[in-house]
């Protein structure tokens, strides 16, 4: 029976290499559902999934909803702005009230690091972390890994450069943990004010020089400046930031011929990435979004403990 060895998916930190390979192999098997005339399988029929989003989202929220619909789950979309949270109800009371309606899985995005972990301890349902503060975004890292593995055929031995606002990025943390765990050489790059001094403890090499990060990189992952999480000035100006850390066509000329460019979105065109780079053939940004649906289908399926899908296992 294909299933994860955990009740919840809270972060990459908790996943073994076997867990990660199982999720990626399952996502690969489920990817073809999107190419069918009827994009639906009965895998989660009779299961209920609550999408509990306390922060804005385009990609994560839409792809979880599509993943749930393609797996035939019943869905409850919870919008915090129109809920009783605005009347002062706590996260735990909200979760306990929703749980009394018997959902099987709760997908949560929250501005506070650790919010999904709290629900994981308190709730009977499986909890999926869809992004918690500046902590982790595990399904983003998994879809990023699926995208790299699809294009490059492997993760181990690749040089992966993650460039931008590392400090405020949950994607940077989850990606670094995952890619390092899977044997890639991870470099993080950005202004010293936007890189935590102890980030090397996650397995990354740190540089302030973009040319050093890009040199020989198989994958360049650009991140946006997260102004919504910055309450002080970390850079002199966005123009200066662009000059030092913007990914331009000129900089891409110095990259390897088969380097791919990634970005979790949303893009700030002309700040961390130029439009002609974001839209170039070597950009796989929209492939990441497409892989998000299959990856989230895989996570939901594996957490539900369903045993009806044949997954071709890989040793990668």
Separation of alpha carbons 83 and 88, rounded Å: 10
CB of 308 to ligand CP, least distance (A): 29
Cβ of residue 10: shortest distance to ligand CP, in angstroms?
16
Inter-CA distances, 55 with 61, 130, 216, Å: 10, 10, 36
Q: What is the edge-to-edge ordering of all strands in the sheet holding 219-222?
A: 204-207, 185-189, 159-163, 219-222, 260-262
CA atoms of 228 and 182, how far apart (whole Å): 31
Write down the least CB distance from residue 201 to ligand CP, Å: 24
Residues at the site binding ligand CP, with contacts judged by CB under 6 A? 57-61, 131, 140, 264-266
Write down the least CB distance from residue 131 to ligand CP, Å.
6
* Strand extents, DSSP E, 45-195: 48-53, 74-79, 105-110, 126-132, 159-163, 185-189
- The C-alpha angle 135, 130, 30, rounded to 5 degrees, equals 130
Cβ proximity to ligand CP: between 21 and 51 the closer is 51
Q: Which is nearer to ligand CP, 181 or 263 (CB)?
A: 263
- Least CB distance to ligand CP at residue 309 (A): 26
Nearest to ligand CP of 223, 311 (CB atom): 223
Cβ 157 to ligand CP shortest distance, Å? 26
Q: Is 249 helix (H, G, I), strand (E, B) or coil?
A: helix
Q: Select 123 or 172, whichever has its Cβ closest to ligand CP.
A: 172
- Nearer to ligand CP by Cβ, of 146 and 311: the residue is 146
Edge-to-edge strand ranges of the sheet holding 105-110: 74-79, 48-53, 105-110, 126-132
Task: Pick the closer one to ligand CP by CB: 72 or 226.
Answer: 226
């Amino acid at each position: 029976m294909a299933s994860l060895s955990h009740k919840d998916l809270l972060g990459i930190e908790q996943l073994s290499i076997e867990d990660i390979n199982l999720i990626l192999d399952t996502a690969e098997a489920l990817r073809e559902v999107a190419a069918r005339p009827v994009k639906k399988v009965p895998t989660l029929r009779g299961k209920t999934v609550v999408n509990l989003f306390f922060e804005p989202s385009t990609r994560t929220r839409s792809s979880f909803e599509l993943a749930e619909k393609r797996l035939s789950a019943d869905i409850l979309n919870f919008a915090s702005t129109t809920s009783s949270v605005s009347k002062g109800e706590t996260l735990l009371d909200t979760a306990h009230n929703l749980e009394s309606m018997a959902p099987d899985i709760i997908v949560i995005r929250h501005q506070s690091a650790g919010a999904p972990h709290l629900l994981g301890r308190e709730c009977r349902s499986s909890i999926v972390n869809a992004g918690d503060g500046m902590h982790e975004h595990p399904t983003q890292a998994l879809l990023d890994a699926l995208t790299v593995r699809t294009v490059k055929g492997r993760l181990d031995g690749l040089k992966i450069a993650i460039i931008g606002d590392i400090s405020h990025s949950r994607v940077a943390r989850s990606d670094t943990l995952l890619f390092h765990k899977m044997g890639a050489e991870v470099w993080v790059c950005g202004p010293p004010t936007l890189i935590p001094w102890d980030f090397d403890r996650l397995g990354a090499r740190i540089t302030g020089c973009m040319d050093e990060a890009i040199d020989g990189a198989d994958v360049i992952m650009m991140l946006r400046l997260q102004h919504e999480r910055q309450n002080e000035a970390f850079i002199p100006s966005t123009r200066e930031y662009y000059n030092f850390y913007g990914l331009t066509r000129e900089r891409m000329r110095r990259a390897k011929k088969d380097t791919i460019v990634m970005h979790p979105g949303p893009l700030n065109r002309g700040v961390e990435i130029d439009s002609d780079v974001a839209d170039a053939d070597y950009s796989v940004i929209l492939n990441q979004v497409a892989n998000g649906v299959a990856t989230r289908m895989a996570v939901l399926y594996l957490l539900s403990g369903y045993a009806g899908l044949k997954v071709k296992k890989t040793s990668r």
